Amino acid sequence: MNAQLKPESMAPMSGDKYQLTNLTTGKATELPTRTGSVGPAVLDIGGLLKDHGVFTYDPGFMSTASTASAITYIDGDAGVLLYRGYPIEQLAKHSTFLEVSYLLQKGELPDAAELAAFTRSITRHTMLNEWLLRLYRGFHHNAHPMAMVATIVASLAAFYHDTTNITNDRHREIFTHRMIAKIPTIAAAAYKHALGQPFIYPRNDLDYCANMLHMFFSVPCESYEMDALHAKALDLLFILHADHEQNASTSTVRLAGSTGCNPYTAMSAGVSALWGPAHGGANEAVVDMLEKIGDVSHVQDFLARVKDKSGGVRLMGFGHRVYKNFDPRATIIREMCHKVLGKLGQSNTPLFELALRLEEIALKDDYFISRKLYPNVDFYSGIIYRALGIPREMFTVMFAIARTAGWVAHWSEMIGDPTMKIARPRQLYTGAARRDYVPVAKR
């Protein structure tokens, strides 16, 4: 069958009409479009198999919306990111991570009483079951913290099965509060395990990020001296990383969750997907890369290797599937880097200077210009984490803590949708056609 899609304009907008024509039979069918609240409409191809006997083929979801969602909007050409309609720049300036978590979940900013109640609930859920803490002892001391976090998050399913009836609204709410509350504690326990230090219990008198720093850096014989700037910088990084519509890890959470599985196991799948260097693992890879480059004088050699492509070297922290102009989060983080490093007296660290120079040179280079490759959220985030004393192997864990707010919001939105279906992609089969089994002696 020859199928031809005839767009009447390049970007489908509300009211545009599309038709699919079978050039062999001449049969033409109008394809319905669906219109969102902002941005281009989408072609609804859900009936293609039934009406035309064909699937679409789109590896990597280059042109495919996997779901409708009301949580986050990105305009990649204009460098726009909105959480529930609010620009990321405004949230970064005025909001807090917990308020943003509430917004992502509920769709509206909380009033003072709602925010207080939400904060109280998150604060009261920060402890881990003592038996769960014992699971860490099964890990070797040099296990990667992302491996520990993915395992412990999945293990929550074994502890809270009595309150995880996903059809019950209240159970879903308890689940989301538990996840947001416990993920810093889970991360801190992984860090302490790797260090061989005793686990530090959460403190309810501290706010979300201050408590996290306390659990990371206090020891039983000495409390961590809290620097408010550190907690504020973390809070800002968490706001910027909280959600990013249907990215790989969020789509993983949705796909796993669409089976109706225990939601903690869906979150664990999200943590694992985030770990990859093409996704959240990039923040760790950026610092590795900068250290390998070592000095500004080696930047041109490094970029030549990137452009040569034969060695498979990429400029980590550059490029994005959706942003083809600039990543607004990178702009905010670069400013934050100047502020935080300035206040810590680390503005002139060779790593930061190298990153700035690398960005400057790459942005003038035709290879990056022609492919629309710009710094993404992870180009500078590792530099701030490092300045705050957070070790490199914990960078992606920090990302996971923040993205948990987005994962639970997307999971709740999906499970609460009465039209939800199990996500079950199809394939273009390229293997052997039917053939008969041959006994081993005759092969």
Q: Which residues bind ligand ACO (CB under 6 A)?
A: 60, 278-280, 282, 306, 314-321, 371, 373, 376-378
Q: State how far the alpha carbon of 133 is from the alpha carbons of 136, 179, 351, in Å.
A: 6, 16, 36
Distance of closest approach, residue 281 Cβ to ligand ACO, in angstroms: 8
Task: Check if 320 is active-site.
Answer: yes
Beta pairing class for 72-75 and 80-83: antiparallel
For ligand ACO, which is the closer residue by CB, 61 or 131? 61
Distance of closest approach, residue 276 Cβ to ligand ACO, in angstroms: 9
Distance of closest approach, residue 439 Cβ to ligand ACO, in angstroms: 45
Compute CA 60 distance to the chain's CA centroid, rounded to the nearest angstrom.
Answer: 16
The angle subtended at Cα 438 by Cα 433 and Cα 440, nearest 5°, is 135
Residue where the block lists tokens 């959706």:
322
Query: Of residues 177, 241, 320, 410, which has the active-site annotation?
Result: 320
The angle subtended at Cα 251 by Cα 246 and Cα 252, nearest 5°, is 155
Residue 358 contacts residue 289 (beta carbons within 8 Å): no
> Which residue, among 313, 147, 126, 288, has the nearest Cα to 203 in the 3D structure?
126
Distance of closest approach, residue 336 Cβ to ligand ACO, in angstroms: 16
**Is 30 strand, coil or helix?**
strand
For ligand ACO, which is the closer residue by CB, 144 or 171? 144
For ligand ACO, which is the closer residue by CB, 73 or 318? 318
For ligand ACO, which is the closer residue by CB, 106 or 305? 305
- Which residue is closest to ligand ACO by CB? 319
Distance of closest approach, residue 70 Cβ to ligand ACO, in angstroms: 22
In this structure, what token pair is assigned to residue 421?
């279906």
Q: Which residues contact 160 (CB under 8 A, 6 or more apart)?
A: 175, 178, 264
Distance of closest approach, residue 332 Cβ to ligand ACO, in angstroms: 14
For ligand ACO, which is the closer residue by CB, 210 or 373? 373
Number of H helices, E strands in the chain: 18, 8
Query: Of residues 235, 243, 327, 378, which has the active-site annotation?
Result: 378
For ligand ACO, which is the closer residue by CB, 318 or 407? 318
Residue 173 backbone dihedrals phi, psi, to 5 degrees? -65, -45
Length of the chain: 443
> Which residue, among 275, 263, 276, has the nearest Cα to 413 in the 3D structure?
263
Residues with catalytic roles? 320, 378
